[in-house]
Every structure is written in structure tokens, then in C-alpha cells.
Amino acid sequence: MATVNVTDASFQSDVLDADKPVLVDFWADWCGPCKMIAPALEEISDEMADKVTIAKMDIMENPDVPGQMGVQSIPYLVVFKDGKPVAQQMGAAPKNALKSWLESVL
């Protein structure tokens, strides 16, 4: 399963009401580090599809949710469980570090 794109309009149903944990990647097209971690997140999405949904939210096209969450720097990764943020990480990291972090919070 590939990553899913989330919008301000779909955030409630795609993330907060999801039946399994969701990792939201807040990103923007102009962000170099965001582009660097995108392939790793795709791979993690495939490898851990049964445990977590990986979602991407473009902060330029969808300013409401990132604004409400106080996103000031990207990439900004937030894991949601049962509709609540349970862990966050800022900045780019290698795939193995991202996967280890994600596994530790699931």
C-alpha cells in the first residue's frame, strides 16, 4: 500500500477516525529534506501496511490542519493513534531511523 494524500477536508476521516495508527508527513514541494525522506516513507508504507497508514499532507495546499497543530518546520512527522497525536519527529532521517522510531511508538 502506497502513502495516501490527506487534505484539510479529509483529515478527520483519514487520520482522526482511522481504525489503525496513521503517520502524517507534513511536507511541501519546495522542501529538499521532505523530498529526501519521501522514498523511505513509501518503502515503510509497503513494509508496515498492516500496522500503520502513512499519509502525506502538503502544507501549502492545506494550511488549516498544520496551522492548528502549530507546524513550523518541515518535514514534520506525527503519529496519531485513536485520533490523538502520540509522537512527533522533526526533520529528515535515514529510513532505518524512521522505521525504528515508528516501530517504537506503535
The CATH H-level (homologous superfamily) assignment of domain 4-92 is Glutaredoxin (3.40.30.10)
Is 1's pLDDT higher than 80? no
How far is Cα 38 from Cα 9, in angstroms, rounded to an integer? 23
Q: Is 31 a catalytic residue?
A: yes
The grid coordinates of residue 67 equal 496551522
Catalytic residue among 18, 24, 34, 55: 34
Domain boundaries, the chain: 4-92
pTM, full prediction:
0.96
User: What whole-number distance in Å separates Cα of residue 48 and Cα of residue 62?
Assistant: 26
Q: Name the 3-class secondary structure at 85.
A: strand
Residue 50, SS3 per DSSP: coil
Q: Over the stretch 28-76, which tens digit does the pLDDT of each residue have?
A: 999 999 999 999 999 999 999 999 999 999 999 999 999 999 999 999 9
| Whether 16 is catalytic | no
Which candidate in 23, 24, 31, 74 is catalytic?
31
Percent of the chain exceeding pLDDT 70 equals 99
Q: Which three cell numbers stand for residue 105?
A: 511508538
